[in-house]
Structure 1
């Protein structure tokens, strides 16, 4: 897919975000009693040029102190922080602090070992674009 087609698909996904949205919860267990992230799938678009592939757009709301379980996505994932500050990390790489307006990338083989709100008093919100196989779940618990 060329860059123009990719941006067209992303733009379509962003436009659909006004039309749909079903809240889903992150699966897995938490090592602490920290609040859970709230995940909403806002759009999903099959890619005709790439049979079996789709772009899925989700939003994630982290309440203060929220922590994600260790997981993976089996997808290319680009995180864009809308509000607040989050800390992200994948196995084998250092943690990154990402502020509003900044991005983070996870590859299909990455295990997301760190995902949390950097603040104990303020919420954080981000959007994630996932390029994935249509048949794969959004989140796969990992160790």
Structure 2
């Protein structure tokens, strides 16, 4: 069965990005240069859609485009990706845990300040009523 080629607009829609994003990924080596029609339109295959989905998923997990590019360069027959990907995932997880701790401290401080502001506001309102 022969699959229908995808033009950039359709690939963008299926992968949840704008066509400019696909062009950016091509320029930066995240996607290979596609073949073109006689009219110059970019033509993509299912492999490009799979790569786009991989990139989007990796981004949602916190990987940078440079890290994703590195992971993708390690993919392929005879290449050992596991060790590198595991190492990068561990680093990303560690960074995420650090950010979560910082956000938790920020949340706690904000809640304390908010409580203080509310108490101060109430006591000012009471003093105004009494005066």
Fold shared, TM-score > 0.5 on shorter chain = no
Larger radius of gyration, structure 1 or 2?
Answer: 2
- TM-score after normalising by structure 2: 0.21
